[in-house]
Amino acid sequence: MTSPQRVRLRLSWQHPEFRAILYQIIVVGLVALAAWYLISNTLHNLAMRNIATGFGFLDREAGFAIGESVIAYSPSDTYRRAILVGIVNTLRVSVIGLVFATILGVVIGIARLSSNWLVSRLASCYVEFIRNVPLLLQLLIWYAIVVELLPGTRSALHPLPGVYMSNRGLLIPSIEGPSVLAVAIALGLALLASALIARGQRVAQRTTGKQYRFWPWLAGLCLALPLAGWMLTGQEMHVEVPHRTGFNFEGGWALSPELFALLVGLITYTAGFIAEIVRAGIQAVDRGQWEAAQSLSLPRGRVLRLVILPQALRVIVPPTTSQYLNLIKNSSLAVAIGYPDLVAVVNTTLNQTGQAIEGILIIMGAYMTVSLAVSLLMNWYNKRIALVER
């Protein structure tokens, strides 16, 4: 293996290459044997219990209700539809969780480095408490706080105008009307267009050395396009503020206690870990970089944006990616407080049908797909910001 010219394979125990091949054959053989043994046992057991293998059960009627769902669902729908509801619910929690956990994590990470004693002390207390208690327990505590300690709907807490908190969950104002979709799409287009313009400006700056202003484009597009969408679709959009009707509330966007506890738990927990990553990332940037940039008389904001953050991001992004994946996987703890995520729905399904193997395969497949997608995206981003060494 180490000699440059190819040595003919000798069938001798003394020959390292022969030994390596033999070891591999033995190991693979053992694994295959174990797999065959388990599979044959499983097939026998399934036959004994009269459980048909395969994904045919997906088209049967599910017959169980799901507490909340984004897409339409009724118990007479198929298992396929039920599982889809679960996937959408998991994705909803993951996406909202990722966004807010990142924001909170960055804020707390920076707060830990603040020279304000109160700010840094509170931030480090937060991190210590959050990181040293199991997430499951935190979810149970949040859920119990909502259900047991918050008042009933009649005396709901009212911390901000239009926001109500009670033991039935959280109510916030919603935006309703036929124009909402158009405005949302227009906003997306505006962001996409701004990204393209920013790219063009960077290329132009690299060739001409001239600096361009980006924010007028961003502000202009983000105002003009949604406004156009609103005008074109008949200006039908309004904010709906929840209001009391006797014993209950009407209007607004309601978060059930389960979803509320799950989101708060996931966000605060993951933010504790992201905060530590952000702190370590900023501390990893050499002090000399600050001093050098300041000696060029760059203003502080630009020092942070142009010199410090690009270097800190290299340290921050890879571990943050695994925190993102953790958040997505941790959302499966929803099953403990009764939020119908993918794992909860599949668990009900496999209890009803006995299709354990298929159910577990669906869970694994779904999480693998989402994890791979997130890590591909983050790896692509990481490659863009990574240090290019000559």
CB of residue 270 to another protein, shortest distance in Å: 13
Q: Give the separation between CA 339 and CA 289, rounded to whole angstroms.
A: 48
Q: Using the minimum distance from each CB to another protein, give the nearer residue, 191 or 329.
A: 329
Q: Using the minimum distance from each CB to another protein, give the nearer residue, 170 or 182.
A: 170
CB of residue 147 to another protein, shortest distance in Å: 8
CB of residue 276 to another protein, shortest distance in Å: 10
Q: Give the separation between CA 154 and CA 95, rounded to whole angstroms.
A: 32
CB of residue 373 to another protein, shortest distance in Å: 12
Task: Tell me which DSSP letter residue 56 carries.
Answer: G
> Residue 134 is which amino acid?
P
CB of residue 336 to another protein, shortest distance in Å: 6
DSSP string, 307-342: IIHHHHHHHHHHHHHHHHHHHHHHGGGHHHHT---H
Q: Using the minimum distance from each CB to another protein, give the nearer residue, 28 or 227.
A: 28
Q: Give the separation between CA 180 and CA 384, rounded to whole angstroms.
A: 34
Task: Tell me which DSSP letter residue 220 carries.
Answer: H
DSSP string, 189-210: HHHHHHHHHHHHHHHHHHHH--
SS3 of 253, please? strand
- In the complex, which residues of this chain contact another protein (CB under 8 A)? 1, 20, 23-24, 27-28, 31, 38, 41-42, 44-46, 48, 114-119, 122, 128-129, 131-138, 140-141, 144-145, 147-149, 329-330, 332-333, 335-336, 343, 347, 350, 356-357, 360, 363-364, 367-368, 371-372
CB of residue 280 to another protein, shortest distance in Å: 12
Q: Using the minimum distance from each CB to another protein, give the nearer residue, 182 or 278.
A: 278
Q: Using the minimum distance from each CB to another protein, give the nearer residue, 210 or 389.
A: 389
Q: Using the minimum distance from each CB to another protein, give the nearer residue, 135 or 170.
A: 135
Q: What is the token pair recorded at 160?
A: 């901000």
**Cβ distance 58 to 79 under 8 Å?**
yes
Longest dimension (CA), the chain: 89
DSSP string, 359-384: HHHHHHHHHHHHHHHHHHHHHHHHHH
Q: Using the minimum distance from each CB to another protein, give the nearer residue, 115 or 211.
A: 115
Q: Give the separation between CA 210 and CA 270, rounded to whole angstroms.
A: 41
SS3 of 305, please? helix
Angle between helix 342-353 and helix 79-112 axes, rounded to 10 deg = 150
CB of residue 122 to another protein, shortest distance in Å: 6
CB of residue 143 to another protein, shortest distance in Å: 8
Instruction: Please calculate the CA angle 250-334-327 and round it to the nearest 5 degrees.
Output: 110
Q: Using the minimum distance from each CB to another protein, give the nearer residue, 58 or 135.
A: 135
